[in-house]
Every structure is written in C-alpha cells, then in structure tokens.
A and B are shown apart, each in its own frame.
Chain A
C-alpha cells in the first residue's frame, strides 16, 4: 500500500477533449492543397513552382516579422498562414513578376489579417485580399496568361517572372486567354473535359477541378470542412446558369462550363469555406453559399470582368456578421423554428 503524496492538478471539467486542434486542422488543409499545387508545378513548370514558393514564403515571413515587431510570440506555428500563402499563390497567373507576388503577399498578411488582430479576427479571406490588391494595382499583369505544358517549362524560368520592380515585364509568349475570357470576349467555349482535368490556361492552381475536389473531399471526410458551403455555391451556380441557359439560349454559357471554369472550384472548396470568414450555423453557411454562387454568376455574365469568384467571396465575407446576427441557433425549450 503506497502512501500518496503527490500534488494534484486542479482543472475544471471536461477532463478529456476530442483531440482536434487548430494546428492539426490547418495542417490538414495544407495537405489537401498539395495535389492542386503539384499539378500547378506540373502544368506550368518553373513559373508555377516559383509563384507558389514566393507567395507562401512572403506570407509566412511577413506574419513572422509582424509578430516579432509587435513583440508577440510568432503565430506561424498554427499553420493558418501557410494556407493563406499557398492559396494566394494558387490564385495568381503563372507569369506574374515575382516582385508583384511578394508585394501582394506582404499586403495580404498585413492588411488582410494582421491589421484586424490575426487569426480568428480577419473578416476577409487574406489570400483574396492580396489578390484583390494586385488586381487593382497591376490589372494587365494579372490578366496576362500563358498556356501550360510547354516543352522546357521545368528548366526555363519565364522572363516575365524575373522582371525588376516597377519595370514593364516582357513575356516570352503571350498565350491563349483563360476559358472565361475566351467566352466573354471571343465567344469561344472550352471543352468541359479540359476544364475538369486542367488542360486550359488560368491561375496556377485553379485549372484542375478534379484535384481540387479531391482535396476538398479529403477534408470533408475528416470533418475539417463544412460540406454545406461548396454544395450551396456549386448548386446555386448550376441552377442559376442552367436557368439562364434554358431561357436565353446561346447568349449564355452552359452550366457545366460555368461550374468547372475559372476559380470557382478552388474558391468554393478552399476559400469560401475559411471558417473565420463564414457563418457559424448550418442555415447561415447555406445562405452564405447561395450569396457567393449568385454573385459569381452575376459578375461573370453581366460584369465587366470575365471572373467574379474573388469579389463574390469578399463581398459575402462582409455579410457574415449580419448573417450570424440574423441566424442564431434557436435554443432548446424556446419556440423553435424547424432546424
């Protein structure tokens, strides 16, 4: 019989937890983005690789330095900034001068995240804030595209990437427009199968719908992402563009083209689902998804730009506090709406 003389730790219940932590969730999101990132490198070679490396590096470094400057412990370890950096890189054209990529990364983290108080407090998706700033500042560079799969892409760095700051980049070969701008300005339709497998031009990570879906399904299966948001967005886009196509005919793009072109898949799976920038309740996230889907269709069809996913998500981000105010869970034992 032992005599027990240890100090007891007093903690309040519960004494057990489910085991998922913020860093493990965030790390898994990064894993889920890897197939799409690998495809970006495969399709665009050095252009894709350097864009992703500089984007991620500039974001992570900015966050680390800002923490140092404000005398806080670095928050790089929660992995959320790695997601921001990678996502930001995946939304950029593979020909973008690297100095622009770096500037956008610095602004994404400082304006989009740190200014609001860091993780958990940023109303807008930081990756999209970075991209929006670049879109406003360098509209030409942000809409100059290059076809993937060219020979020698793994050994040659596209000249435009190495342009010096504030100089006009020179492009090796100005190439085909993205499927969305081809439709918008030249009334040309891409093959749906090319869209699904990523054989078109576009931002580094948006081209292969099937790999993006794969990553999303992994997160959903591990209960680390809300399936309701992508389902709401994609079905809204499908229904709205389907209705327009049926009524308006050839003047409108077919719904499957809408679904698999541009940044919709990447945005619906990985950006609209950012937990910080989406509502808390099930009904709230469905509303959020419908809003993003509707705005995407409206901007793409009637807007001046060929692509609208980025602005749709940023606008919907702004509505989240209102949605959360409007839709609260109805407490047990009160008169309850059906939920």
Chain B
C-alpha cells in the first residue's frame, strides 16, 4: 500500500476521456423560467417533504412549499413566483412517479427572493443544523444526502478534517469548477459553517490537477484566519467518491460499510458548501442550482444556474438540441441515470444534463457482447478492490446472497469502472445494482 501514500491518490481506478473542454471556460449564466415547473417533493435521500401549498395558491419565489417530514428529510422552496397548478404525481429520473408540485411562474416573475431569518456562523451548532434542514440543503454532487444529517456528527465520533470535495471526477461536468472560480466568498463562508457544525479542526479543499486555475484562485484568496488549505490531486476516476478521497488525502481507509466519520473525516461537495455560505446568512432556501448542459447533442453548451423543477424538454429547447439526440442522462456519463422522458425535471442533485446523439449511442448499441475472457481489467479497475468478474459470474447465476456474504457486493458503490473497461461489453455494474437491491429486499423481509 506504500504507493498510495507516495502518489497521493487511491488504488486502482480508471482514466475516462475528460470531455470538459467545451464548458470549462464558460461562466455561469442564469437560465430563464420554464412555463411550468415540476417540483418533486423527494429530491433527497429520506422521507418526502409534506406539501404546504394547495392548488390555485399563489406563492412567492423562495417561499416554503414543502415541510421536512421528520429528521431524514429537508424543506422545499418555490423556485419562482407563480401559481400552484396541481399537487400530484410526476415522472422522476428513477423511473417511478413521485409526488410533487406543478408551479406556473408568472410571465413577469421577478428575480427577487423572499428572505427568512438569517443564521450567522456564530449561531449554535443546533441552530445551524436546523437552518440547513430548513434551507433544504442536500449534497449537490449527486447523492442528495441531507446535509444537516451529514454534518451533525455524533459526539462519540470526533472529526478532525472536513474535506471540501471539488474533485469533480466525472467526465463532461464543470459545475464545481465554475463555482470554485466564481463563488469563492460563498465557499469560504460555507467552510466556516461546516467547521463550526462538525467541530473539525481544519478543512482541505480537494481539487484534481485538471482544474489548476480554480486551485490557484482559491489558494491565493484563502482568508488568513480560515483553517483551510487547497490540495491538488492527480486526475483519476472515481476520486470524487468519499472513500477514495479520504484515502487519497489522508491515507486513511474507511472500514467496509462504514463512513468517513469512522476515520475522523467528513466530505462535503464544494457546491454544497457554497450554497451554505450563500443561503444561510439570508435565511433562504435552495431554488436553483448550477448545471452543466453539454454533450455532442447540445448546441449552446454551458454552465447554467437553472431553477429547480425545470423540465429537460425546456432546457434542450432553450440550448438547442441536435436532430438526432438519442440519449439524455443526468449527471456524468459514468454514473448518471438516463432519462426516460423529457418531462423529468432538474432536481437538487442534478449536476449535469448530457445529451448524446445517434453517432455515439449507435456505436455502443451495435457492439457485440462476448463471454468474460478473464482478462482481469475489471479487477485492476475496481477502486474498492472487489472482483467484478467473479461477482459477474455469480450474478448471472442469481447467487446474490453469496455475492454479498463472500465477495463484498454491498461495498460496490456503482462507479461503473468495471463496465467501462470490460472488453466483453458485459453490463457488470447493472448486474450489481440488481443484486444489491435483491439483497436489501431479502434483508428487509428477514427483519420484518
């Protein structure tokens, strides 16, 4: 394991083409309001928020429309001033219909946002945790885990380091990159909140070497009284994954099925940190987020600040889509789920909208699938040091429980590296998703 410490990265991993060139230099631009916003009440991991508006009601931009339902839930705010058309089911990226609020923005909806009660950095830990939940803040890197739960570290697990994750290792995406260049004051203020809540001694802003401009800018502007430093890591996927990042920066290995907390660290996405610094001092909630809209099927590629609830169709109409777009996915190409409908909206966890054309997808579609030739590339790629080939054979025989018991299936976080390198074109990570959900279901059935 010596090499891990020497090279300041994690073991294994892959190098997909970065594809960030088209948007990395483009400043964040405000996106217009769609004629109808689809705002799901579950945009986070946990319980859906409870709607507090009804059909026909007028709401102001920034007004609370969904109340958190218990601790594992966050608030939802109106992304625009307008009229609630309906509270009901809407399509979501998961493929299931979920409850949400259909909001029709006023044609002249202004840009001013309703302010609430500010929460300063000097407030108590409990007050800040409550404010985070009230602001509806979740991990903007994609997982959408409620931030107040993550930062509210239990007293028996002290944290020494807060890792501000600006790695953005997924190809195509440049949102965190732009936020780091354009919202430095928000990030620094956000770090103060994070340090206050978690009790961590210092923060490390982690950035990959393909964003040196952002690393330089942050390092040069770092306030002298802020206990934070910027660290540059070599480019490798999936370095943005929490466990990989903890190992890369601190040389600590998070125990199987454990959290960075277990080794004295927490990881928080840099855009989430910026949102904390931007929203909490004004008592506001999240109503929009920065999204990279890109891919060969998109004409006006860019980094846009898009209101939550904006349907994909409206986005693609605004930026111009190629005639032969064939696939749209949300997030990066390694982990982002494909959209089954263009009515699916931008949610808090959406970092990118990438569109491919027939030219790219046709090539993949016609690529034949071969039996596993045991080349071992997947074994060399897996950042969790699992054996995807062996797991694939077991999955084909539906031996799901054995995959979990003997081959650490549940440690797979579906980064897609194994499928990416497989010369036989075997959909390994998809096998593992199915296997994991089956094992979870079995465990649930056993428990009840």
Listed in ascending order, the chain A residues whose CB lies under 8 Å from chain B are: 1-4, 6, 8-18, 20-25, 78, 80, 118-121, 226, 275-276, 278-282, 285, 324, 328-334, 336, 338-339
Contact = CB atoms under 8 A, between A and B. Distances in A.
A15 B326 CA distance: 12
B30 interface: no
Interface string B393-432: 0000000000000011001000010011111110101100
Contacts of B326: 6, 8-9
A333 B11 CA distance: 12
B253 A17 contact: no
B333 A280 contact: no
B82 to A, nearest CB: 22
A278 B376 CA distance: 10
B339 interface: yes
Interface residues of B, number: 77
Given A14-B416, A25-B423, A1 B317 contact: yes
Interface in B337-363: 337-342, 354, 356, 361
Contact of A22 (B11, B325, B379, B423): B423
Given A1-B317, A20-B423, A334-B256, 9 more contacts: A8-B342, A14-B429, A18-B14, A80-B373, A120-B374, A275-B374, A281-B376, A331-B385, A336-B253
Nearest to B15: A18
A44 to B, nearest CB: 32
Contacts of B385: 329-332, 336, 339
B389 interface: yes
Interface of B: 1-2, 11, 14, 16-17, 171, 243, 247, 253-258, 313, 316-318, 320-321, 323-329, 333-342, 354, 356, 361, 364-365, 367-368, 370-376, 379-380, 382-387, 389-390, 407-408, 411, 416, 419-425, 427, 429-430, 433
Contacts of A119: 370-371, 373
A174 to B, nearest CB: 42
Contacts of B354: 15
B1 A120 contact: no
A9 B335 contact: no
A13 B333 contact: yes
Contacts of B171: 16
Given A8-B327, A332-B411, A15 B338 contact: yes
Given A8-B339, A9-B327, A280-B387, A120 B376 contact: no
A331 B12 CA distance: 12
